[in-house]
Structure 1
Amino acid sequence: MSLKGRKALVTGGSRGIGSAIARRLAADGATVAITYAGNTAAADATVAAIRDAGGTAFAVQADAADPVSQRAGVEQAAAALGGIDILVHNAGVAEFSTVADDSDETYDRQFGVNVKGLHVGTRAALPHLNDGGRIILIGSISGDKAFPATSVYSATKAAVAALARGWAKDLAPRNILVNTVQPGPIDTDMNPADSEFAQQMIEAIPLGRYGRVEEIAGAVAFFAGPDATYITGTTLNIDGGAAA
């Protein structure tokens, strides 16, 4: 219960990596709010899993692609939590195409959610974020390593890590620590480890397997916890060695 008494907001927390993060922070003692864009059933399932395990959680609908909705969701969550100690930005989208096939719409959508949504959400949270708090951004090894047909997505995730490095300096006077977790290939319903694409990817992963959502959640819990008090502006890859 290393996070007992702490208040955590996880954006995009209804399923996959976000749900695992919310459940892990709650298991470590935090009261958790999650935001979700539209999948009410998945959000309710995450909240129910936390409550069934003895934790406290609730869900707020907020679309990270819409600045008005994002701000309102953060405000609502902060009010219900009574402040924020831990802010985890997990909401994101990915659309893969080569530069010849990219469009203005796919560019705007990915930057709108992955970068602007994160920027808007953090600024909305800052008045409610307690001194000594933590901001943890979920990036991707694509921010460091190029893959075919991922240039725009990769650019958004490189921007995420850059924002974290800058914010770490901006917020150091308040002792707010800002770090980025960069997952590699992770087994989720959108990217299952048993797909044909996954089998091709596994050949390039030194550990020879996809990661588990719980392994990402564990890294986030570390950055949120008492053993990370002298770590800020850092980017941590959780990828089985894929980007090494």
Structure 2
Amino acid sequence: MKVVVITGGKSGIGSATVDIFLNNNYQVVVLDKEEVGKSHPKLLYYNCDISDEHMVKNVFEEIYKKFCKIDVLINCAGIQILEEWHSISTVHWNKVIKNNLYGTFYCLNQATKYLNRGGAVVNVTSIHAKSPRINNYPYDISKAGIELLGKELAIELGRKGIRVNNVAPGCIDTPMNTDIDLTSQVIRDKIPIGRAGQPEEVAKVIYFLSTDSSSYIHGVTLTVDGGRNLIK
């Protein structure tokens, strides 16, 4: 049985990703600061703040001791804090960067010690890693950093038989976007497919990139945005 570690599996894209791996008979290990809220014989939860390097190191050591391997790592955990440029709090800036960018780095650094040939890594970034906007500076910058880090690791790990790819979601109906009316005409007009995406639609792409069905896809960022990137 293959073992997948998913960060941020409590809700949104992370929760949908947990479901799709469970449905495909994986042993799923979730790292999150909150309980997953679901029960399954092949689901194991660790309370883990990924911005804490020491905690991440200990958790991955425990996972390896328990299963003697890690086949797939999905970096899905992310937070955002919206603030105008001249109102940015350095505390908030550091919190977002520390969680999203440093946290992903810590998980990558530890998990890749245990991934064997044939393993896979998928990082969840954002279309805003490349498409600039205002008032979400630390989030977008952290996602841009994750995207580049993923591509550089693809160079590093490819010859070891480990594939690394990124998924860049667009406007997705998740708890992170609860303050936005995703059904508004303004939003829909910016998405050629005419609606916001669902977490499950992103999870399917994440799963695809984790399996042998994508065995020759490596070092890329797949955009899952209903065509949002086509409209400026």
TM, length-normalised to structure 1? 0.89
Provide the secondary structure at the position in 2 that maps to 1:110: helix
Matched residue SS, 1:63: coil
In the alignment, is the contact (CA less than 8 A) between 1:31 and 1:81 conserved in 2? no
Q: Is the 8 A contact 2:182 2:196 kept in 1?
A: no
From 158, 177, 180, the counterpart of 2:144: 158
Match of 2:86, SS state, is: coil
Tell me which residue corresponds to 2:211: 225
In 2, Cα distance between equivalents of 1:79 and 1:209: 44
8 Å Cα contact 2:173-2:182 kept in structure 1: no
5+ residue gaps, structure 2, are none
RMSD over aligned Cα atoms:
1.6
Determine the C-alpha separation between the residues in 1 that align with 2:213 and 2:181.
39
**Which residue does the alignment assign to 1:129?**
115
Deviation at 1:198, TM superposition (A): 5.5
What is aligned with 2:90? 104
Residue correspondence of structure 1 range 1-244 to structure 2 within 5 A = 5-37=1-33, 39-40=34-35, 43=36, 45-46=37-38, 48=39, 51=40, 56-192=42-178, 195-196=180-181, 199=184, 200-244=186-230
Report Cα offsets for 1:64-93 as digits up to 9, x if no partner: 121112222222233333310000011111
Which whole-Å CA distance do the structure 2 matches of 1:172 and 1:190 have between them?
33
The separation in 2 between residues aligned to 1:72 and 1:201, in whole angstroms, is 43
User: CA shift at 1:147, angstroms?
Assistant: 2.0
> 1:127 Cα shift?
1.8
Structure 1 residue 136: deviation in Å? 0.4
One-letter amino acid of the structure 2 residue matched with residue 190 of structure 1: M
Residue 106 of structure 1 deviates from its aligned partner by 1.6
Instruction: Note the C-alpha offset of 1:95.
Output: 0.9
- Percent of aligned positions that are identical: 27
Give the count of matched residue pairs. Answer: 229
- 3-state SS of 1:190 partner: helix
After TM superposition, give the deviation of residue 189 of structure 1 in Å. 2.6
The secondary structure found in structure 2 opposite 1:209 is: coil
Larger displacement relative to structure 2 (199-208 or 116-125): 199-208
- Pair 1:96–1:198, CA change in 2 (3 A): farther
**CA shift for structure 1 position 108:** 1.0
C-alpha distance in 2 between matches for 1:141 and 1:122: 21
User: Which SS does the other structure have where 1:33 is aligned?
Assistant: strand
CA contact (8 A) 1:60 1:76 kept: no
Q: 1:14 to 1:80 in 2, by over 3 A?
A: farther
Consecutive unaligned residues in structure 1, runs of 5 or more: none
Which residue identity lines up with residue 32 of structure 1 in the other structure?
A: V
TM (norm. structure 2) is: 0.93
Q: Do the aligned partners of 1:75 and 1:125 also contact (CA within 8 Å) in 2?
A: no
Worse overlay, 231-240 or 195-204? 195-204
